[in-house]
Structure 1
Amino acid sequence: MKFVRILLKALLGLIVFILLFLAISLAPVDETPYQQMPYYRQTKQRLAQLREPKAGQAPLRAGWAKTNITPPYTTPTGGYGVRRGKHWHIVSDSIYARAIVLSNGTTTVAVVGLDLLITPPTVTEALKKRLPEVGLHWENIYMGAIHSHNSIGGWAPGLVGQLIAGGYDEKIVTRITDGVLTAIRQAQRTMAPVQIGFSQTDASDLIYNRIGNAGPTGPLDGAVRLLKLQKPTGESALLCSFAGHATLFDGSNGDYLSRDYPGSLVDRLEKKSASFAVFLAGAVGSTGPKATGSTDFQEIRNYAGALATRIERTVPQIQTHSDSTLALLTLPLGLREPHPRVIGNWRVRPWLFYAIYGDYPSDLKALRIGQTVLLGTPCDFSGELAAELNPLATKKGVNLMVTSFDGGYIGYVTPDRYYNRQTYETRDMNWFGPYNGAYFQEMMVGLLKKL
């Protein structure tokens, strides 16, 4: 009987502990409309206070360079899913940091593309401290990533970081940061007058909407967008964006370090269409690639080839011209409290989320180069939401490129009408609650109008 009493007390204590933990760890979802929230008013005020861009003093000059950041040792794989930080053992593709530096005599901007899953928030924080080494600040930087799920990991501390990118290694953060700064320095040394031009080609048939498995969806943004920079010497650079997820490597095939299809595409573009190319993942939130091939490598080659063929038909038609328009706006984003849902409509409280993920600031970026505007988001941004922004850009007479992974990372931002769908994108990866689709669109429209 004594043993039974001890066992019952232990069980009662365990139950009390679990109930207390749940009470301090979980809370119901806050469905207050975002327009009534303090974070919205704060961000809207910051938007209103952004200074108008200054006119350029001279036509655009630009330079470009890339730095190989492939580690000389194996690292965890950054790529979610079944990889879970498994180390790669074979280098299929070298990994680079790429930079295009532009200046009009008034403003200097560096566009940085990383051959990584995302722009790691830890790298962003390191760059904010170290960018003065190359004469720049965070407000001069526009960042993006190719979103390969088989690239270098190890750059995110915490439990969530372990699941996304494997065990944390500060040396990897330093290596990536050093690579970015080196690419910027080298690009600065190659600056020369450039003419610019823009075009796009449709590749909607190469993507599908993953949320469509749970019900009807709207049109995706399936355009391949191309910004061309041409020097008097004939050297040229292509800035390319597209919204297909770089997931052609199967999740269980984590043995390879790879840039997936964006790497294969950039390599081909640099052989046939330009001296230099940078790929930035577009609005990839919920977009999957339609693959053809019997192996991962065949799928990558075929997919990159399908995109390259369309680009190669388009590039010769791009008309370039001299321009002095260059402006970059950085809008620090306020956000609702963290809202990862775990049980029904119950979500993790902020203290627990920040303990297992970290608390990183996030921005929206707006970059204007001539008649082209790039809007950078700190997330997997929805291709449906991006498509809804295109009519306004057309009305304003500018070319629009929406990109993901600009420095922070807050999970997925998808249309609000899907918030309660039981999908990976809308539930597992929606980290900051309802109404972010409309909130992000409103702030992005505000930035577009500012430029």
Structure 2
Amino acid sequence: MKFLRILGRILLGLLVLIILFVAVSVAPVDRTPYQQTTYYAETKQRLAELPASPEPKAPLQAGWAKVNITPPYTTPTGGYGVRRGKHWEVVSDSIYVRSIVLINGSTKTAIVGLDLLITPPAVVEALKKRLPQIGFRWEDVYIGAIHSHNSVGGWAPGLVSELIAGDFDERIVQRVTEGILTAIASAQKTLAPAQVGYGQTDASDLIRNRIGGDGPLDGNIRLLKFQKTTGETALLCTFAGHATLFDGRNGRYLSRDYPGSLVDRLERKDADFALFMAGAVGSTGPEAKGRTDFEEIRNYAGALAARIERTLPQIQPKPDSTLSILTLPLGLREPHARILTDWRVRPWLFNAVYGEYPSELKALRIGQTVMLGAPCDFSGELVADIKPATDQRGLNLMVTSFDGGYIGYVTPDRYYDKPTYETRDMNWFGPYNGAYFTEMMRGLVAKL
């Protein structure tokens, strides 16, 4: 009988502890419309206060460079939690930092493409400190990633990051940071007068809607072509297919997936330099064909390259020195990682396992093209809501993901309660972000 009383007290104590833990760790989802929040008002004020773009003082100049950052040691393979930090063993293809530097006498910017899953927040913090060493500020940089799920991991501390990208290794942060600085500095040394042209071609048949939505996906391959007076050319390419052609269980290979195969082919046949950035991939997966991962990559990159090559003769670069870049610090609802439809973990617990990272939107205008960068897997379905803002001004639009941080997925708000990976597991900052992001991105277009 005494044993039962002791056991009862122990169980009661455990029950009290569980109740207390739940009380301090779980909260209801806050569905306050974003227009009624403080973070919205503050971000809107910051948007209004962004400075006007200065007029160009000289013709456009462009330069470009790439730096191989493949480590001489193995690292975790970033991209899938199922791999549990397992290291790659074989270099299928090397990984790079690529940069295009543009100047017009009053504005300069560096476009940076990383052969990584995302732009690691730890790298961003290092860049903010070190970019002045090469004459740049963070506000001058537009950055993105190819989103390969078979690239280097180990670039972020915290439980969630280590599930996705393996154990943190400060050497990786240093290596990526040094590669970016070197690529930008090297690109500056190749500056020469240049013209710019835009083109696009449809590849909607090569993607599918991963969340089963009914909205229009962003299926265009978008291209910016830079041509120096010397005759050298560079291509900047964006597309919204997830770089997930390697099976999630196949973490043995270090690879750039299809974006790497694509830029290699473009540099062999069509341009002196090519840079790829993941577009609005937040709703889309690739429709690939092949018996092996490697065959799928070759076929997919080949299908994209063939459409690009048919489009290139239609792109006629012209002189245009319009160049401006804006950075908008973005307020967010407090963390809303959900455990049930209407229940979430409290911010202290989310921050303990993931960390606290600033978020921002970038806007870059090059000639008659506007690039918008988001710190997330941004849904292609939302591009249709942004495009009227550029169409009415006669501008082209390129939207990219993974700009300077990572806050999960941003998808159309009507899917918020849909129990899918993208909308439940990876929506970390609550409802209405689809409308909020598109409103701020349209505001940036107006500012440019």
Pick the TM interval, shorter chain.
over 0.9
Question: Among residues 406, 416, 426, which one is paired with 2:423 in the alignment?
Answer: 426
Q: For 1:127-138, what aligned pairs fall within 5 Å after superposition?
A: 127-138=127-138
Offset, 1:388? 2.5
Deviations 1:287-324 (A, max 9, x none): 00001001000000000000000001111221111111
Equivalent residues of 1:93, 1:257 under 8 A apart = yes
CA distance in 1, matches of 2:44, 2:388: 22
CA distance in 2, matches of 1:250, 1:24: 39
Offset, 1:339? 0.2
Q: Which residue is equivalent to 1:200?
A: 200
Question: Among residues 338, 345, 352, which one is paired with 2:335 in the alignment?
Answer: 338
Q: Which runs of 5+ in 2 are unaligned?
A: none
Q: Which stretch has the larger CA shift, 76-85 or 167-176?
A: 76-85
Q: 1:445 is paired with a residue of what secondary structure?
A: helix
Offset, 1:3? 2.2
Equivalent residues of 1:211, 1:217 under 8 A apart = no
Deviations 1:58-87 (A, max 9, x none): 111011001111110000011024223211
**What is the aligned-residue identity percentage?**
74
Is 1:445–2:442 an aligned residue pair?
yes
Deviations 1:76-134 (A, max 9, x none): 01102422321100000101011101000101100000000000111111101110111
Offset, 1:189? 0.6
Is 1:153–2:150 an aligned residue pair?
no
Amino acid at match of 2:32: T
CA distance in 1, matches of 2:291, 2:81: 21
Equivalent residues of 1:239, 1:279 under 8 A apart = yes
CA distance in 2, matches of 1:377, 1:156: 19
Is 1:162–2:162 an aligned residue pair?
yes
CA distance in 2, matches of 1:189, 1:281: 27
Q: 1:396 is paired with a residue of what secondary structure?
A: coil
CA distance in 2, matches of 1:358, 1:80: 19
Deviations 1:157-189 (A, max 9, x none): 010011111100111101100000010111011
Amino acid at match of 2:236: L
CA distance in 2, matches of 1:80, 1:359: 21
Deviations 1:359-418 (A, max 9, x none): 111110000000010000000000000122223311110010000000111000000000
Equivalent residues of 2:144, 2:278 under 8 A apart = yes
CA distance in 2, matches of 1:271, 1:300: 17
CA distance in 1, matches of 2:84, 2:238: 27
Deviations 1:319-365 (A, max 9, x none): 11111100000000000000010133110111111111111111100
Is 1:46–2:43 an aligned residue pair?
no
Offset, 1:251? 0.1
Amino acid at match of 2:114: L
Root mean square deviation of aligned Cα: 0.8
Offset, 1:217? 1.3
Equivalent residues of 2:389, 2:446 under 8 A apart = no
Amino acid at match of 1:34: Y
Q: Which residue is equivalent to 2:248?
A: 251
Offset, 1:10? 1.4
Q: Which residue is equivalent to 2:394?
A: 397
Offset, 1:233? 1.5
CA distance in 2, matches of 1:319, 1:270: 19
Amino acid at match of 1:94: S
Is 1:287–2:260 an aligned residue pair?
no
Q: Which runs of 5+ in 1 are unaligned?
A: none
CA distance in 1, matches of 2:363, 2:183: 22
Is 1:312–2:314 an aligned residue pair?
no
Amino acid at match of 1:174: Q
Offset, 1:56? 0.6
Count of residue correspondences: 448
Is 1:229–2:226 an aligned residue pair?
yes
Equivalent residues of 2:198, 2:225 under 8 A apart = yes
Q: 1:99 is paired with a residue of what secondary structure?
A: strand
Is 1:33–2:30 an aligned residue pair?
no
Q: TM-score, normalised by structure 2?
A: 0.99
CA distance in 2, matches of 1:278, 1:85: 28
Amino acid at match of 1:356: V
Q: Which residue is equivalent to 1:376?
A: 373
Amino acid at match of 1:172: I
Q: 1:178 is paired with a residue of what secondary structure?
A: helix
Is 1:174–2:174 an aligned residue pair?
yes
Amino acid at match of 1:409: Y
User: Following superposition, which runs of at least 4 residues in structure 1 exceed 6 angstroms of deviation?
Assistant: none
Amino acid at match of 1:78: G
Amino acid at match of 2:89: H
Is 1:407–2:395 an aligned residue pair?
no
Equivalent residues of 2:81, 2:165 under 8 A apart = no
CA distance in 2, matches of 1:423, 1:156: 25
Q: 1:444 is paired with a residue of what secondary structure?
A: helix
Q: Which residue is equivalent to 1:102?
A: 102
Q: For 1:236-275, what aligned pairs fall within 5 Å after superposition?
A: 236-275=233-272
Amino acid at match of 2:96: Y
Equivalent residues of 2:341, 2:417 under 8 A apart = no
Amino acid at match of 1:394: D
CA distance in 1, matches of 2:334, 2:38: 11
Amino acid at match of 1:266: V
Q: TM-score, normalised by structure 1?
A: 0.98
Q: Which residue is equivalent to 1:76?
A: 76
Q: 1:194 is paired with a residue of what secondary structure?
A: strand
CA distance in 2, matches of 1:345, 1:248: 34
Offset, 1:7? 1.8
CA distance in 1, matches of 2:240, 2:384: 11
Amino acid at match of 1:16: V
Q: Which residue is equivalent to 1:188?
A: 188
